[in-house]
Every structure is written in structure tokens, then in C-alpha cells.
């Protein structure tokens, strides 16, 4: 896509710190990392979000995510990592090109997961009914 920031990175028009690449996927360091080594993994073909990408292309992408996660954990010595995909602007997607964040984690790094709550009486049943109709 012509004005897509990530497509410009793929084309080499914008520099990046490349972590991994193959014929389908490019992974590069996030410019605003949560922890050192925070990496974005993107398909080389442009897809805006999860609804746009085919299952075949998504499989290629998630295999790239797995490879990069292994590199981050094994080469940088992190204890683990979070994998996150923000789908659409309301969910925090800033660049409209599907991408997965791999966020390296250590004990005590200060990163907190999202808040959790509980369903009200009957709420879960109503949600299931709406999804399944």
C-alpha cells in the first residue's frame, strides 16, 4: 500500500533494525519498545487486520512470530515474552498493517497485563447467545 509506513519499511524506503526476514515476513525492532528487544513481526504483503489476512498468509506470519520469539528468548536471555496483536484503532492499532508485537519479559520488569473483571449474573450466557446466533 502506497502510504503505509510498514510497506515503506519493507521496500527499504524507511530504515529499520531488522531482526528476521524470509520471503513472507519481516521482523524489526519497535521504535518505542516496552523492553529492549521489543520486536514487530509483519507480513511482507499488505493486510490491514485479522479480518483481511487469509488463513494461508496468517499461518506464514505466525510461523515468523514463533521464530522471532525463539530468537528473542534464546539470544537475548529473556525468561519469556508476550505476543500481542492490536486489531483496529479502538484496540490500539496505530499502523493499519497487521503486525504482532513480541515483548520480551523478565521478572520485575514493571509491565502489567490488562485489568480483569467479572461477568455480572447472566451476562456470560447472553454474550454466548449473541455469538452463537
- Residues that are catalytic: 99
Rounded CA separation 27/125 (Å): 40
Distances (CA, A) of 11 to 104, 106, 126: 27, 34, 47
Residue 40's nearest CA partner among 51, 49, 32 is 32
Rounded CA separation 119/5 (Å): 39
Exposed/middle/buried for residue 4 (C-beta within 10 Å: 0-12, 13-18, 19+): middle
Amino acid at each position: 500500500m502506497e502510504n503505509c509506513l510498514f510497506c515503506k519499511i519493507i521496500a527499504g524506503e524507511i530504515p529499520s533494525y531488522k531482526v528476521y526476514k524470509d520471503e513472507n515476513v519481516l521482523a524489526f525492532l519497535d521504535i518505542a519498545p516496552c523492553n529492549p528487544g521489543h520486536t514487530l513481526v509483519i507480513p511482507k504483503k499488505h493486510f490491514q487486520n485479522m479480518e483481511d489476512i487469509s488463513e494461508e498468509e496468517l499461518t506464514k506470519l505466525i510461523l515468523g512470530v514463533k521464530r522471532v520469539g525463539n530468537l528473542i528468548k534464546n539470544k537475548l536471555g529473556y525468561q519469556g515474552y508476550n505476543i500481542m496483536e492490536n486489531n483496529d484503532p479502538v484496540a490500539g492499532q496505530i499502523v493499519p498493517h497487521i503486525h504482532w508485537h513480541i515483548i520480551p519479559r523478565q521478572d520485575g520488569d514493571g509491565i502489567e497485563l490488562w485489568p480483569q473483571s467479572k461477568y455480572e449474573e447472566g451476562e456470560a450466557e447472553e454474550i454466548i447467545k449473541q455469538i452463537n446466533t
